[in-house]
Amino acid sequence: MPDPRRIMERCDAFARHSELPGGLTRAYLSREQAAANELVLDWMREAGMSARLDAVGNVVGRLEGARPGSPCLMLGSHLDTVRDAGKYDGMLFVRCAKGISHNSAEAISAADAEIGGRVFLRFIENFRPKARV
């Protein structure tokens, strides 16, 4: 069971990666987003997930279930923000992803969800399951 206190402590630590003093702004490809990505990658690895940054800056973590390589539940959100965003904009869902499934699970954070979003949507299209015959 995820510890709500620990989740909130990490949300607070994560919110410190901002361009805006006293607020939250984390633009795509900014130093703040790069630092936030590294923090989330560290947390994923600490939780036993394999974790990587893909070619466009999406953070991808996978937790294997009892049968490695089996289909998984994919969950995602974003780690970038709009200007002067709410403190938990996007990241809370990514942070909670590990505790939702006992089977294989992947957590993906879109690199450019707030400004464009198109990169993430095209990326996700590649993961859509093919129809089975």
Q: Domain range holding 103? A: 4-125
Predicted local distance difference test score (pLDDT) of residue 89: 75
pLDDT at 92: 62
Tally the domains of the chain: 1
> Is residue 13, in this structure, part of any structural domain at all?
yes
Question: What does each of the 133 residues of the chain score in pLDDT, given as a tens digit?
Answer: 667 888 788 888 888 899 988 888 888 889 999 999 999 899 889 888 899 998 888 888 888 888 887 887 777 778 888 888 877 776 665 555 555 544 566 776 666 665 554 444 444 445 545 544 4
DSSP code per residue over 48-87 = T-EEEE-TTS-EEEEE--SSTT---EEEEEES---TT--T
- pLDDT of 34 reads 93
In a domain, 35, yes or no: yes
What is the predicted pLDDT for the residue at 59? 87
In a domain, 131, yes or no: no
Q: CATH number for the domain including 24?
A: 3.40.630.10
User: What was the pLDDT predicted at 82?
Assistant: 82
CA distances to 24, 60, 70 from 100, rounded to whole Å, are 27, 16, 17
Record the pTM: 0.73
* Residue 89: inside a domain: yes
Say if 133 falls within a structural domain.
no
Looking at residue 31, its pLDDT comes to 93
Residue 110: phi and psi, rounded to 5, are: -70, 135
pLDDT (0 to 100) of residue 133: 42
Structural domain contains residue 132: no
Whether 91 is covered by a domain: the verdict is: yes
Is 60 a domain residue? yes
Please report the pLDDT score of residue 99 as a whole number.
Answer: 52
